[in-house]
Amino acid sequence: MIRVLLIAAVGTLLACGNPKYEIGQPSEDIRINQIGYYPNSPKQFVVNTKNSLESFKIVDFNTKESVYEGQLSAIKDWKLAGETVQVGDFSGLNINGEYVVFIESLGNSYSFEIKENLYQDAFKASIKALYYHRASTSLDETHAGQWNRAEGHPDDSVIFHPSSGKVGVTASPGGWYDAGDYGKYVVNGAYPLGQLLSLYEQYPGVVGDNSLNIPESGNEISDYLDELKYEMDWLLTMQDDDGGVFFKLTTKGFEGMILPEFAVKPRYIIGKATAPTLDLAAVSAKMARVTSESFGSEYKENLLLAAKNAWNWAIKNPNVVYKNPEDIRTGEYGDANLTQEFYWAAAELYLATEEELYKEYLLENPISFEFKPGESWANHMHYLAAFSLLDSKQDWTAPLKNELLKSADQLVSVMGDNDYNQPIQDFQWGSNSDVLNTAMILCNAYRFTGEKKYLSSATLIMDYIFGKNANGYSYVTGYGSKTPMFIHHRPSAGDEIDDPVPGFVSGGPNSRLHDSFQVNYPDSVAPMKAWMDVEPSFASNEVCLNWNAPLTYVLGFIEKEANNL
């Protein structure tokens, strides 16, 4: 069990009729989950303080009366955050309502709620963010509200770059923009699509029709699947006739911070490599298996054909590693170790076809499940393979469970000794996606064991994402009292609307400070504080598909399982 959870909920529920407390401007030194807590979830907060404090109260936001009081932990020195802190625990309070933490010498926290269905709105917003990232279409006011915009990047006449091995032009419309830029990348489109499909595979009713207000709403198919198909259809356009898959569709260099309609530089199909080919094989097979009842047999067969052709190309070309050509400056998504891609593709093809050759590959090529932070598109997709294989409940997959639980237990152990109860000690580019990917592992460990320590740990990780962190921000745009306003995101920068597009998770602290040439970080900034809510901070405050997908998964999962806390 996580160490901080063992701090007894040494608190007392109080009767009504107490003195009233004045609720004023929130103290930035009280860090809480700004969304709130499920009735039976662990409930903790952190106080940044140099002087030891004794007690706290939980005050009803409406009546201004204290309803719970407890003792703070001993003061702790947290090196990753560069802080001395105390921890408060009010897990004993499970009554629905709106509250603040109150500490005599500091005042009150931001308000938060205790309630069921706590994350439902944020969950749907994280999916709707994908709609806001659609390429090759306009976003009308009916579906996009104030973030409506004109069509950009029709991609109906894209130039083959010499690195593709082809000449001329082709059509490759649709799909989602990858990140804060307007590129479309197979590697970083297929992997997050696989994560999103995993949620639907495990909880088919997670999002119904008419749930997201997208153009396809009302077609009697889950809005979630409709949105995922928009990306899948684009991915299929990136497959060459020989089965290999092109790496990306981008300009030669990044466009300015402008809306899509004004970003009109020539766009190119660039490169062909083993990684995107295997990723397409995996996600096409998974899409065929998971969505066949929704999109029909013809679509399923097309997906399976694409997956098999991609696998065959990769077997013949097992180590074609992509590198940016000299004239290309857009994202490289480098990866020289393709073992995870082969494993994921073999797993999904086996489950979709039951052909022995894929099973044989898996048995002959076991893989390590030790979690490695950074570069999730390169390091983490084999976890998706394990989730799917274990769900198939075949005897030969049983050893995977031990490997998965070993990884999950290691993460729980790290959380017990780590600042802010999150499982990451190395804050790389996109650290929030690392945090969320560990939560995905814990969620699935809970699915396969029913042990509550895994589910409780996942909820604590979401506390970190929504404000219980060293920066005191909820990292999800539009969800929380203090959220990123200046994300590195071209549509948000170019639309002249104060609020950024909602539902995106900021990349998070990045101790490498790749953008320090244009962002003024404090001197000797602590790793957990290496984050700035400024538009130029592409290294800490950008958004990206592979960061949002695990956010969606974990929010949807916890919404489904919160009653079991």
The residues annotated with a catalytic role in the active site are 181, 488, 533, 542
Instruction: Judge contact between 196 and 228, C-beta under 8 A.
Output: yes
H-run or E-run covering 26: none
Dist CA 496 CA 517 (whole Å): 26
H-run or E-run covering 120: helix 120-132
Dist CA 552 CA 556 (whole Å): 6
Alpha helix stretches (DSSP H) within 365-451: 376-379, 381-391, 398-416, 431-449
Supply φ then ψ for residue 492, to 5 degrees: -70, -35
| Residue carrying the six token digits 């997208």 | 214
Task: Provide the token pair at 265.
Answer: 């530089």
Nearest in space to 118 (alpha carbons), one of 92, 145, 146, 94: 94
Dist CA 508 CA 433 (whole Å): 8
Cβ-count burial 147-185 (b if 16+ within 10 Å, e if not): bebeebbebeebbbbebbebeeebebbbbbbbbbbbbbb
DSSP letter (8 states) at residue 6: G
Round the CA-based radius of gyration of the chain to a whole number and report it.
24
DSSP letter (8 states) at residue 61: T
Task: Provide the token pair at 85.
Answer: 């802190």
Q: Which residues pair with 20 in a beta bridge?
A: 65
